[in-house]
Amino acid sequence: MMERVRAVLVTADDTMLVIRRTRPGIPEYWVLPGGGVEPSDESREAALHREIHEEIAGKVDIIRLLHTTESDDERQLFYLARIATWSFDDRTGPEFSAEGRGEYALEEIPLTMEGLDGIELKPEEIAHVLRGAINAGSLGAGASR
């Protein structure tokens, strides 16, 4: 089973970093930064650190596992994490240069219901989880530690 790790990256301004995906023939959508766990990764958390470094040249402080989704062939682990610095211009992930992958754009959205409702975050299950956490006040600076 393929395992992927993704992060709800909360900034110091209580915004969230998301990647807008634009692909030919498909309506644009947004995903959380992250990617596949590789055999060389020491742990899922190590995979997340590697992926965030590759995708946005950032360093994260992982707070906790927020949610897990599972299908017949894939498990995705979503972590809540804080991020202070990043540079999308310095990304190094192999997917950015692959032909036919479309465009990737890093965006910072408000960590509010309005911010979340303004994008088509995939998978829908994590969008639902985030709506609940926003309503509960469990993602902001005071609640994340």
Q: What is the pLDDT along the chain (145 residues), one digit of tens a residue?
A: 999 999 999 999 999 999 999 998 999 999 999 999 999 999 999 999 999 999 999 999 999 999 999 999 999 999 999 999 999 788 776 555 555 678 889 999 999 999 999 999 999 999 999 999 999 988 865 444 3
Asked, for residue 144, whether it belongs to a domain, the answer is no
Rounded-to-integer distance, Cα 59 and Cα 94, Å: 18
- The CATH number covering residue 40 comes to 3.90.79.10
Give how many domains the chain has, as a whole number: 1
Sequential DSSP letters for 115-141: HHHTS-BSSHHHHHHHHHHHHHT-SST
Global pTM reads 0.89
Asked if 35 contacts 19 with a C-beta cutoff of 8 angstroms, the reply is no
Beta strand 74-83 with 15-23: parallel, antiparallel or unpaired? unpaired
